Structure 1
């Protein structure tokens, strides 16, 4: 299989798994997934500029690693879907996934195919940086959850389905009495 087929597959195929995620969860965790794209692109740009690693090949016509737009984004959404709200479990599972991803996928698989080479960044330090990114993502999602307020009516759907934008929450008594006309 050619490297281009592998790189394009890593970008496109993971998106099909979102069919199995509830619509509310997709809407809830898409912002953190998009934020992970931004953070990972910044890390890759910084790493290439500082000579930490070299990407020999990318999915044409992109310069950034294609898995950032596919596998990484969707893995972030699934990780948050299953583990958000339980930070230590999230951090432990993410650390294990980071070790597997960096050692098995980056170093072994992509390295042997000539797609990726670490130059001055050892894999263990790369895992530490990935864990720092995962903490940033968790903090972002916590901040993002603050945008929503609990609905006054209880819903029978999953626990996050009764979230509403803060702008739709009812006015307090003091605001109801004021006429702004």
Structure 2
């Protein structure tokens, strides 16, 4: 029974954020899609490195291959990246500030509950180091979008 509840939770966590995507608008979705997919793959690569180095742990849910990282990355993280870019792209200070707030809320707030419910926990990494990883991800996302738009402007 526990597995059935977990799989429903995973599915909901991955699907629910996508209900907000129509509110982004078609132009914003098309504009930021490549960057958001890029950073989602970066997050999965970093997670793979983190698993090998035991920086953190996503507890196995359905099988050793299917942990919480997959629905988290392709649900709230991917959709959140769209919204952050839509609200802040073009104002780097505001972009980094919003990322700092969101990532800080995850690291210093939500993580308590993720550990309590055995979803995610840090192993060989401190919270400030996780924030550093998040800030590097934020810089990569903004940088990718910047380069994408710079290349697009040259073609037009």
Q: By the TM > 0.5 criterion, same fold? A: yes
Q: How big is the alpha-carbon RMSD for the aligned residues of Structure 1 and Structure 2? A: 1.9
- In the alignment, structure 1 segments of 5+ residues that lack a partner are 151-165, 170-181
Partner of 2:18: 15
Q: 1:111 aligns with which of 106, 109, 115?
A: 115
**TM-score where L is the length of structure 1:** 0.77
Structure 2 distance, partners of 1:5, 1:102, is 25
Deviation at 1:59, TM superposition (A): 6.1
Q: Deviations over 1:135-161 (max 9, x none)?
A: 0110000001023238xxxxxxxxxxx
Q: 1:130 aligns with which of 129, 134, 137?
A: 134
Structure 1 distance, partners of 2:62, 2:28, is 29
Structure 1 outlier segments of 4+, above 6 Å: none
Partner of 2:52: 49
Deviation at 1:28, TM superposition (A): 0.1
Deviation at 1:118, TM superposition (A): 1.0
Structure having the larger proportion of residues in helix: 2
Greater radius of gyration (CA): 1
Partner of 2:96: 91
More displaced stretch, 46-55 vs 63-72 = 63-72
Q: 2:81 aligns with which of 76, 86, 92?
A: 76
Greater RCO (CA < 8 Å, at least 6 residues apart): 2
Q: Deviations over 1:116-172 (max 9, x none)?
A: 12111111110111001100110000001023238xxxxxxxxxxxxxxx2xx4xxx
Deviation at 1:109, TM superposition (A): 1.5
More displaced stretch, 8-17 vs 130-139 = 8-17
Contact 1:3 1:113 in 2 (8 A): no
- In the alignment, structure 2 segments of 5+ residues that lack a partner are none
**TM-score where L is the length of structure 2:** 0.89
Contact 1:7 1:59 in 2 (8 A): no
More displaced stretch, 52-61 vs 93-102 = 52-61
